[in-house]
A and B are shown apart, each in its own frame.
Chain A
């Protein structure tokens, strides 16, 4: 072989480099796993408290929304199911070693997290659908007042197989496998009572901190920052008003719970990517890169838009229709906790992706229903299509190890 001298030298240098890297054990090989992070793996969200975790707690990268049919005959069966679900939730979110079993039996755990379950910020948020209150005797009178079957809005094209359910579980975790491990555990251990009806996985892209140290909102699959106007989830007073059901508004058992709205909203991304940037920004009402409102294009995403100052923001811009910033704006706040989803391709060859929209509010009518009704007919509809989801009521929290999810509901059901 007669290689030009320069190539030979590069080749030798390359070989020398390879030898050197083999000597350093920390240089990963093709087959090495991506490096995990101990600091995030050990993150644990407290399971017990007045409210369930996974609502006002920070949204980690991975999410799964799963809806189930509940197969129990009566309130006793429901209690048994809820107690076991509580036990699984407490166990999985705490983490710990996987139990060993006689190797001649199927293993107790799927094993996808190995022999030690890392908590990894896992939360499991359990909510009930209106159909559960319909199907169990003695439960109808205890239904949260505004809990109903998801309605179909004008732009919706709901796929029956991806809608509704007697019970939903929102799994959130740092890593997708942690959320999936929890779902597999529920499917395996609760098969006599919970039948999976539909599920949607999603994720939130991690975002680098801004120069001032704050973390900007993550982008959705339209390329816009999503959640800029979300109420402050660390403001406990605000959350009491916006998210948590208070005494008196609902059946007593529901205090501390919240309404969960789930919408699987397909984005027609090919078409969106072919829309002019100026049109995209006019449709949303924000600058695409910074998230700043159009009336203050050099501000940031958290700047409150001023719709009185000229006609920078079209009347039918998404953010303006959703929240016209009128005097009663605070009444209609919702806490959004969405994930982006991608499901391969649709039958027409276009990408099947969009937003797994999840929001929480103490009042469905003032919250999601008002906002969505305002949005009917918005220009964004040309690029989005809600295809699934459901309305659920997120149970109040589990007070302590002696309590279980929905205990107040079960007690109320027994008092005739």
Chain B
């Protein structure tokens, strides 16, 4: 049957010899996990709306310190559900684009959302500069919440979402470029990670034939948790710069291995 070996060649051989992992209609097995996941996402987008409301209020009232303190925790509920949120690519751009996404970087008038506000708060040091972007963000997350509540979740997107979140971490959080003005990358890291873990936890009972995969993946999730725990501070995390080179390399290895292994999930669960 299907067992994950260290080498790709070994995997291929066992896979070709293997039988289909699930019963004829994989979607039946996914009904319950998908329903649970929809609730998880709805809770997070509701939280996002509530947190954004407080964040925007702080900006409008000119309270720079409170606004800065609320920036990272407000983002976490977005980062947790990113595989679903980014289905609405128009909103993903206006909510979460980074300066690199624009040729003129921070000066680009189309640069909006969390990171434009982050730039206003940490670099421009100016809540007034952030107000128009804050108002736009409020409208966008409210819109996102409504759209997600009306959405039928595509099973393949949810199942692939665990790997998608690890790819997010590997591509932008490990390097500290996501929240470059505030240094709050580890908050995002943990949120992406929690979102991936949620999907994995919901699907884990369906993987009945591959104890090695479960053991390895459980172990990698645990090891990431252990390293992140070293950087917890207050309700959240230390500045990205606190991350040591050794821990960064270790996290990078685990995140990339999780991305490799979780990319097998859709196939393992019989999705095509």
Q: Residues of A at under 8 Å CB distance from B?
A: 69, 71, 80, 84, 87-88, 91, 99-106, 108-109, 135, 185, 188-189, 191-195, 197
Across-interface contacts of B260 in A (CB, < 8 A) = 188, 191
New A-B pairs, 18, CB < 8 Å, besides A99-B12, A191-B257, A192-B220: A69-B245, A69-B246, A69-B249, A71-B250, A80-B6, A91-B9, A99-B13, A101-B11, A104-B270, A104-B271, A105-B263, A106-B263, A106-B264, A108-B8, A189-B8, A191-B256, A192-B253, A195-B253
Interface pairs A-B: 6 shortest CB-CB: A99-B12, A108-B8, A105-B267, A104-B267, A191-B256, A69-B249
| Cα–Cα distance between A386 and B204 once the two chains are bound (Å) | 51
| Cα–Cα distance between A197 and B250 once the two chains are bound (Å) | 12
| Cα–Cα distance between A104 and B252 once the two chains are bound (Å) | 26
Across-interface contacts of A189 in B (CB, < 8 A) = 6-8
Across-interface contacts of B254 in A (CB, < 8 A) = 192
The answer on a CB contact under 8 Å between A87 and B7 is yes
The answer on a CB contact under 8 Å between B12 and A108 is yes
Q: How far is the CB of B42 from chain A (nearest CB, A)?
A: 29
Across-interface contacts of A101 in B (CB, < 8 A) = 11-12, 15-16
Can you give 15 contacting A-B residue pairs, CB < 8 Å? Answer: A69-B246, A91-B7, A99-B9, A100-B12, A101-B11, A102-B267, A104-B267, A188-B8, A192-B220, A192-B253, A192-B254, A192-B257, A193-B253, A195-B253, A197-B249
Across-interface contacts of A69 in B (CB, < 8 A) = 245-246, 249
Q: How far is the CB of B34 from chain A (nearest CB, A)?
A: 18
Given contact pairs A71-B253, A195-B249, A102 touches B8 in the complex (Cβ within 8 A): no
Binary A-proximity of B239-266 (CB < 8 A = 1, otherwise 0) = 0000001100110111011011001101
Q: How far is the CB of A133 from chain B (nearest CB, A)?
A: 15
Q: How far is the CB of B143 from chain A (nearest CB, A)?
A: 34
| Cα–Cα distance between A109 and B11 once the two chains are bound (Å) | 11
Across-interface contacts of A103 in B (CB, < 8 A) = 272
Across-interface contacts of B259 in A (CB, < 8 A) = 191
* Nearest opposing residue in chain B for A80, CB measure: B6
The answer on a CB contact under 8 Å between A104 and B8 is no
Across-interface contacts of B7 in A (CB, < 8 A) = 84, 87-88, 91, 189
Interface size class of B (residues with CB under 8 A): 20 to 34
The answer on a CB contact under 8 Å between A99 and B249 is no
| Cα–Cα distance between A189 and B271 once the two chains are bound (Å) | 23
Main secondary structure of the interface of B (DSSP, over half): helix
Among candidates A105, A191, A195, residue contacting B264 with C-beta atoms closer than 8 Å: A105
The answer on a CB contact under 8 Å between A191 and B15 is no
* Nearest opposing residue in chain A for B8, CB measure: A108
The answer on a CB contact under 8 Å between B9 and A191 is no
| Cα–Cα distance between A106 and B262 once the two chains are bound (Å) | 10
| Cα–Cα distance between A161 and B11 once the two chains are bound (Å) | 34
What number of residue pairs across chains A and B have CB atoms under 8 A from each other?
69
Among candidates B6, B16, B246, residue contacting A102 with C-beta atoms closer than 8 Å: B16
Across-interface contacts of A108 in B (CB, < 8 A) = 8-9, 11-12
Q: How far is the CB of A405 from chain B (nearest CB, A)?
A: 15
* Nearest opposing residue in chain A for B18, CB measure: A102
| Cα–Cα distance between A188 and B9 once the two chains are bound (Å) | 12
The answer on a CB contact under 8 Å between A100 and B252 is no
* Nearest opposing residue in chain A for B245, CB measure: A69
The answer on a CB contact under 8 Å between A102 and B15 is yes
| Cα–Cα distance between A80 and B6 once the two chains are bound (Å) | 10
| Cα–Cα distance between A102 and B268 once the two chains are bound (Å) | 10
Among candidates B8, B12, B249, residue contacting A71 with C-beta atoms closer than 8 Å: B249
| Cα–Cα distance between A134 and B44 once the two chains are bound (Å) | 45
Q: How far is the CB of B267 from chain A (nearest CB, A)?
A: 4
| Cα–Cα distance between A194 and B249 once the two chains are bound (Å) | 9
Q: How far is the CB of B106 from chain A (nearest CB, A)?
A: 19
| Cα–Cα distance between A348 and B252 once the two chains are bound (Å) | 32
* Nearest opposing residue in chain A for B16, CB measure: A100
| Cα–Cα distance between A105 and B14 once the two chains are bound (Å) | 13
Among candidates B8, B264, B268, B270, residue contacting A109 with C-beta atoms closer than 8 Å: B8
| Cα–Cα distance between A103 and B272 once the two chains are bound (Å) | 8
Binary A-proximity of B177-213 (CB < 8 A = 1, otherwise 0) = 0000000000000000000000000000000000000
* Nearest opposing residue in chain B for A71, CB measure: B253
Q: How far is the CB of B244 from chain A (nearest CB, A)?
A: 12
Across-interface contacts of B270 in A (CB, < 8 A) = 104
The answer on a CB contact under 8 Å between A191 and B253 is yes
Across-interface contacts of B11 in A (CB, < 8 A) = 101, 108
| Cα–Cα distance between A88 and B250 once the two chains are bound (Å) | 22
Across-interface contacts of A194 in B (CB, < 8 A) = 253
Across-interface contacts of A191 in B (CB, < 8 A) = 253, 256-257, 259-260
Across-interface contacts of A80 in B (CB, < 8 A) = 6
B205-236 residues at the A interface, CB under 8 angstroms: 220
Tell me which of A80, A103, A105, A189 has the highest count of chain B C-beta atoms within 10 A of its own C-beta. Answer: A105
| Cα–Cα distance between A195 and B9 once the two chains are bound (Å) | 21
| Cα–Cα distance between A205 and B259 once the two chains are bound (Å) | 38
Given contact pairs A84-B6, A88-B7, A102-B15, A195 touches B252 in the complex (Cβ within 8 A): yes
* Nearest opposing residue in chain A for B20, CB measure: A102
Q: How far is the CB of A10 from chain B (nearest CB, A)?
A: 46
Tell me which of A87, A99, A193 has the highest count of chain B C-beta atoms within 10 A of its own C-beta. Answer: A99
Q: How far is the CB of B262 from chain A (nearest CB, A)?
A: 11
| Cα–Cα distance between A99 and B9 once the two chains are bound (Å) | 6
Across-interface contacts of A192 in B (CB, < 8 A) = 220, 253-254, 256-257
Tell me which of B13, B253, B254 has the highest count of chain A C-beta atoms within 10 A of its own C-beta. Answer: B253
Q: How far is the CB of A98 from chain B (nearest CB, A)?
A: 9
Across-interface contacts of A100 in B (CB, < 8 A) = 12, 16
The answer on a CB contact under 8 Å between B253 and A104 is no
| Cα–Cα distance between A105 and B263 once the two chains are bound (Å) | 8
Q: How far is the CB of A248 from chain B (nearest CB, A)?
A: 35
Q: How far is the CB of B24 from chain A (nearest CB, A)?
A: 15
Q: How far is the CB of B268 from chain A (nearest CB, A)?
A: 8
Q: How far is the CB of B167 from chain A (nearest CB, A)?
A: 12
Tell me which of B12, B250, B260, B263 has the highest count of chain A C-beta atoms within 10 A of its own C-beta. Answer: B12
| Cα–Cα distance between A69 and B244 once the two chains are bound (Å) | 13
| Cα–Cα distance between A192 and B263 once the two chains are bound (Å) | 15
| Cα–Cα distance between A20 and B259 once the two chains are bound (Å) | 53
Q: How far is the CB of B151 from chain A (nearest CB, A)?
A: 24
* Nearest opposing residue in chain A for B255, CB measure: A191
